[in-house]
A and B are shown apart, each in its own frame.
Chain A
Amino acid sequence: MSSRDLVLGRVRRALSDVQRDDTPYEQAVQRGYLREHGERSVEETVDLLAENLADYRAIVHRCADEELSELLMRLLAERGSQTVLVPPGLPSYWLEAADPTRVQDRGASTAHELDRVDSVITGCAVAVAETGTIVLDGSPDQGRRRITLVPDHHICVVRVPEQVVSSVPQALVRIDPTRPLTWISGPSATSDIELDRVEGVHGPRTLEVVLVRGRAGAEVAP
């Protein structure tokens, strides 16, 4: 007998006392919990996102779409970045003003090559206000998961209010499960020393989030 059949057989025998019921799954679980916590205006939801991001040590900036390239240039300059990783579908005007050398992520790029890049700039799929989370789904403006992992400085641009939801349940509805997903809440951290939180381990130690309002994204790459 294969181990598969062995294990499945054991499961069925273990459940011999259980009445089979054909209640559809949607009715089998009481979901009495809230879809979101508290009532907020769109403005307040964006404010809450900013507040919770900052609470977990992300650096939050806000600007209008026409100020975006200017702001990104300034953030890269302040950081002293010489090179910046660019996902394939990043709107080109975002980096219009920036000086650092653009580095494209190629299939053949090794992790060591990515490790030599100073910064990475991406968009995001959705942001969750209640938890201060940004979700990346590997779309062309976000690139492969490794590019937001190996460099030490990540700037993530969130279009507000369109990309912001209040809660985790609302976020899951917007996300395609089949894509490779990364949920990011602040820079890399650990609680492993005396159960106290310390920022900065293996992921980017600096996470900057730009909440941009206006036209941004109107020019999404094909």
Chain B
Amino acid sequence: MSGTFVGMPAFPKAAHDAVHNETLRGNLRHATHTIRAKRATAVAEVSDWAELREAGKQIKDHTLRHLDRYLVQLEESVTAAGGIVHWAADADEANRIVADLVRMTGETEVVKVKSMATQEIGLNEALEAEGIHAYETDLAELIVQLGKDRPSHILVPAIHRNRGEIRDIFRSEMGEWGRPAPEGLTDTPAELAEAARLHLREKFLRAKVGISGANFMVAETGTLVVVESEGNGRMCLTLPETLISVVGIEKIVPTWQDLEVFLQTLPRSSTAERMNPYTSMWTGTTDSETADGPSTFHLVLIDNGRTDTLADQVGRQALRCIRCSACLNVCPVYERAGGHAYGSVYPGPIGAILSPQLRGTASEIDASLPYASSLCGACYDVCPVAIDIPEVLVHLRERVVQGGVVTQGGNKVKLKPAKGHAAERAAMRAASWAFRHPGALRTGQRLASRSRRFHPRTLPGPGKAWSGSRDLPVVPAEPFRDWWQRTNGGKDTGK
């Protein structure tokens, strides 16, 4: 298992391999079913869920529609509170900025809070190339890092690992990175958590630089919010002298009051808790007299495809996402294929609409992601900001098949229709012609009815793959319109 997503095969190939891994399927079924039931209970506890969801959607939509204004306001507030704001157009620039900031401190190691944005830009690898070691401190991220693995879930990147596998990774790898796993470590979750506590403690206590993301940034106050469970976030946010937060530009909410919505919907959607154990909020830095937390605070705002996504009138709703991962946990496709098949740090339904928008649909994996869904809509039902994921999926399929104008790197470009959909396009053209020629349609239907005995069970040629996993519809003995005419619309009951 390599630690990178580059050169991933298309979703169908990757998923095909994953569904044959029985351990993986067992692990995922167990985990997603556990959280699914708990989430439903946590949501049912609040009678105004629908209103909270609607408000969350409206807050995010409003923010996105005025994003330039709120970005400028946020920059002012953070600066006024003593923070330093940096802007990065893409991943490379963000990585360069962070590496330079770390180098300026003279440190060669940093502790990290779990962050999707830094995963997305590949920060750890970029820092490593500069001789800076980044230690992941979230338990699941630690498991992924120690196992030289890739994340497979937004909230629980090691969801594909069961307790036995985690114990084995801890036993064999912890010593390489620092304090080894305790002698006789068993696979009980409490013991595994204790092993992580001991292993990371020394790193927290000596850390001089912390790197985080943020769940929310409040434009009016310049406050950043990190929602977490273990306390590793608090460690990284308060003990180091320098804090660098790398955050996507869409993470803004306009006002302090807006947090009242998301602090109710996010914990219930992600870990199915009334409230997660720890939420940290900080506004710039505190003055030196009563200094609490880092004396230097850098905020790196990243675009990295977000403005391209914003330019798409249908697809931009994906930027409302608060990374709760509820859509992953209910998705029948995710449950069976697992997160790695999506070839991105954003797996599951949200990943299937986010990755092809952030990265474009040029690669094989990105062009295949809009199809990684049965369009059942369970993701939309549970989304706390009401992202209509099926709508965006269909929209992106259209883009892949038909091509058209999209924004890439801030510029409008015209995409050619993707290769490999020639048969689909030919079938659609034929259908469109037949529907415009009723005589031909009628003749065709009658011909099909009379020859039904000779119909194959699977399609030949290019249609073979399609019918490999589907039954071909059975053609009725008589076309509907013939039946209608013959029976006077069913009134003449003969047969």
Contacts and interface: CB of A to CB of B under 8 A. Distances in A.
Interface of A: 2-4, 6-15, 17-18, 25, 28-34, 37, 52, 56, 107, 110-112, 115, 128, 130-133, 138, 144-146, 149-150, 168-169, 172, 177-204
B72 interface: yes
A185 B274 contact: yes
B35 A33 contact: no
B440 interface: no
A104 to B, nearest CB: 14
Contacts of A30: 51, 54-55, 58
A112 B256 CA distance: 35
Ranked 3 nearest A-B pairs via Cβ: A203-B231, A202-B231, A10-B307
**Most chain A beta-carbon neighbours within 10 Å: one of B206, B286, B407:** B286
B143 A7 contact: no
Nearest to A148: B234
Nearest to B200: A202
Interface of B: prevailing SS: helix
Interface in B21-72: 27, 30-32, 34-35, 45-48, 51-52, 54-55, 58-59, 62, 65, 67-68, 71-72
Contacts of B201: 115, 202
A190 B260 contact: no
Contact of A25 (B156, B206, B239, B254): B254
Nearest to A198: B189
B197 A201 contact: yes
Contacts of A3: 86-89, 93
A145 B263 CA distance: 20
9 contacts: A33-B55, A111-B204, A138-B290, A145-B280, A149-B234, A172-B259, A182-B280, A185-B275, A187-B277
A3 B303 CA distance: 10
A208 B469 CA distance: 57
Contact of A180 (B87, B275, B282): B282
A190 B256 contact: no
Given A15-B67, A203-B230, A112 B286 contact: no
A2 B86 CA distance: 10
Interface stretch (B5-13, B158-166, B368-376, B445-453): B158-166
Contact of B229 (A132, A179, A189): A189
A13 B311 CA distance: 8
A138 B285 CA distance: 13
B31 A195 contact: yes
A184 to B, nearest CB: 6
Contacts of B194: 200
B264 A168 contact: yes
B162 A194 contact: yes
Interface size grouping (class) on chain B: 35 or more
A31 B17 CA distance: 46
A193 B163 contact: yes
A138 B282 CA distance: 11
A193 B67 contact: no
Contacts of A187: 277
B261 interface: yes
Contacts of B307: 7, 10-11, 13-14
Contacts of A188: 229-231, 277-278
Contacts of A203: 230-231, 234, 277-278
B293 A193 contact: no
B275 A177 contact: no
B193 A56 contact: no
Contacts of A29: 55, 58-59, 62, 258
B279 interface: yes
A11 B67 contact: yes
Contacts of B345: none
Contacts of B62: 25, 28-29
Nearest to B158: A192
A195 B36 CA distance: 10
B259 A190 contact: no
B154 to A, nearest CB: 12
Contacts of A183: 263, 275, 278-281
B192 A4 contact: no
A177 B218 contact: yes
Contacts of A184: 277-278
Given A180-B293, A185-B277, A202 B48 contact: no
Contacts of B93: 3
Given A3-B87, A56-B277, A146-B239, A14 B311 contact: yes
A146 B204 CA distance: 12
Contacts of A6: 87, 89, 410
